Amino acid sequence: MYRQHFHLRERPFQLVPTPSYLFPSRCHQEALGHLTYALESGEGFVELTGEVGTGKTTLLRTFLDGLDETVAVACIFNPTLNAVELLQSINRDFGVSTDSTSRSDLTAALQGFLIENREAGNKALLVIDEAQNLSIEVLEELRLLSNLETTRAKLLQIVLCGQPELGVMLERYELRQLAQRISLACRLRPLSAVETHRYIVHRLVRASFDGNASLFTRRARERVFRYSRGTPRVINICCDRALLCAYVAGRERVDVTSVKEALAELSDRPYMQVPFLGRSPWVWRGALLGVALILAAGMFVFGRSFQAPVPPPSLASAQAEISVPVAEEAPTLEPVSASPAEPGAGLLPVMEEPVTYSLFDLFDDAGISNSTPWGIQRIMKQWGHEVTVSELPPIGDSYLLFSAAAAPMGMEVMPVDEDFDLALAFQLPTLVLFDAGNRRPLALVYEGEGERDLLRFHSSKGIVELSRSDAARLWAGRAIIACANPLGFSEVVTAQSGPQEVIALESALSRAGFIQVSVDGLFDGGTLAAVYTLQDTYGILRDGKVGALTRVALASALKNGLPDPGSPRTPQARQGGETP
């Protein structure tokens, strides 16, 4: 509709994975380079992950279009298959017989093709899109297919492409053998503000007759980035609608007004809302309206003013800033009773002191006692393991209880004592214990920073936000980190370790982004340099030994990506060695 008006050959922001429109951002270039390297070097498994709309399918199509006839390719775009259907689909794409319904017959036919293909000097590549939807059975079948090899090379190379849930799934204990075989892992991230500007210009130049790069004003592009947060698919939707709005209004360029009109039209789409703290703005607007009505009613009925629970700086008691958003099953806080007015004071208005709350006012004795089992259950669920509180053994010590629950799942459980910054440095779900006086410690689950640089904790009562200084002051001196063990065993890995242990380490380092590491079972200079970098990044004494601390750092890198060196969340170098 608007192509002729803006002198465009085609719509520049169509939602189709067209390779010629791939924007070569740094992240996408690195991922394309990893895929090319993996194919040339004969790596068995490659993992490509990224959030919805970050361009995974377009990147795959670009990679596949660049292959020549020496590479036989099978593509699976429907991952909801069982093991037999998967084998049939693979054989069909390779031109192999699919008549049988026997897994052994289908595998034998596939192996015969792969051997002939390799003898002819060719390679075979299997690409699976939306791999986060694969079942455990199918993933295990893929692992078995990776056993099809000669003494010198893999007969079949496999690319698993999916959303971040794929990475979480591969960290499950029962899939540790498959996870160790993934030699390269690529992660696509949203575009930066500068990349978003260049992305819009790139697509306009591709689609226009005259290479017009200024069709969108700078303010319009800035507005698109603020709304899309750099997600290519959302950028495309916004820009396409903005072009239409500008055309309808008879404008020669797309200005910020056109973008605002487009966003207003898209506001009724829940999936297009930019989330705030993990929720749609409409949720928070309703929540804030509800809070305002409740506060107004309280002011009218009780004639008193309520203050957000922020303690004054001079408050000597153990009080801390607490924020509990109503959208997260917030508790109803009962105000602390104020002192009665002095006799005779009824003749004049009484200005009562603001109400403040102690952290421990939120929890009764039962809530504090149950906080550790509740926290263990929450953290285990985030790593894909269901734990029932009632089935936990009656163990009083939090670390021993967590170990009893997590060890059978093959998880790493590590206590951190007397180093609050280190306990939070890994950005993993962490059980943090707070001193509740003569009662048992109160356990809260740390899950990152919230607004205003406050630390965000989860509890059975809702979200609790504390300043770092308050949290450190109330801390009981122990935190417990539990995560998927990236190596699958608890032995310390050094240069003297056996090849199997070193291969597990090298595979995990490679998946974490250390592409210079060769998965060959040799603890060489490249492996040692990667271990040093990992330890430096997380403030661990660089001793080249991969013990509990470095394993947790590796788990964090696999889950969150490596933090930038010197970033605020990276602690200062520790002097206490590997063991916390």
Q: Which amino acid is located at 322 in the chain? A: I
Length in residues, the chain: 580
Q: What is the DSSP string of 219-249?
A: HHHHHHHHHHTT-HHHHHHHHHHHHHHHHHT
Burial of 382 by CB count in 10 Å (0-12 exposed, 13-18 middle, 19+ buried)? middle
Kindly list the averaged pLDDT for each block of 10 residues, start to end, along the chain of length 580.
83 86 85 86 86 89 89 87 89 88 89 90 92 88 85 86 88 84 86 89 86 86 90 92 91 91 78 43 52 56 44 39 42 38 41 52 82 91 84 83 82 85 87 85 87 83 86 91 83 86 85 81 89 88 88 87 58 45
CB 242, CB 256: distance < 8 Å: no
Q: Please state, in angstroms and rounded to a whole number, the distance separating the CA atoms of residues 259 and 257.
A: 5
Cβ atoms of 425 and 432 closer than 8 Å:
no
Beta-sheet strand order (sheet of 71-76): 71-76, 123-128, 157-162, 45-50, 182-188
- Yes or no: say if 437 and 443 are a contact pair by the CB < 8 Å rule: no
Q: Pairing relation of β-strands 45-50 and 182-188?
A: parallel
DSSP 359: G
CATH topology of domain 193-272: Helicase, Ruva Protein; domain 3 (1.10.8)
CA distances from 152 to 148, 238, 250, 346, 472 (A): 11, 50, 65, 93, 55
Residue 433 has a pLDDT of 93
- 465: part of which helix (H) or strand (E)? strand 462-466
CATH number belonging to domain 361-405+412-483: 3.90.70.10
- Residue carrying the six token digits 């792969």: 114
Query: DSSP assignment, residue 78?
Result: -
Query: Looking at the domain that runs over 485-580, which CATH code has it been given?
Result: 1.10.101.10
Decide if domain 24-188 falls under CATH 3.40.50.300.
yes
Give the closest residue to 334 by CA, choosing from 315, 361, 304.
Answer: 361
Longest pairwise C-alpha distance within the chain: 103
- State the pTM of this model: 0.51
d(CA 73, CA 386): 38
Distance in angstroms (rounded) separating the CA atoms of residues 127 and 159 = 5
Instruction: Please name the residue that has the structure tokens 């319009």.
Output: 220
CA distance 523 to 520: 9
Half-sphere exposure in the Cβ direction for 228 (13 Å, CA): 32
Q: Which residues, 6+ apart, have CB-to-CB distance to 20 below 8 Å?
A: 206
SS3 50: strand
Using CB atoms within 10 Å of the CB of residue 347, give its burial: 0 to 12 exposed, 13 to 18 middle, 19+ buried: exposed
Separation of alpha carbons 53 and 62, rounded Å: 16
Query: 88: which 2 tokens?
Result: 């049939």
Residue with tokens 């285990």: 380
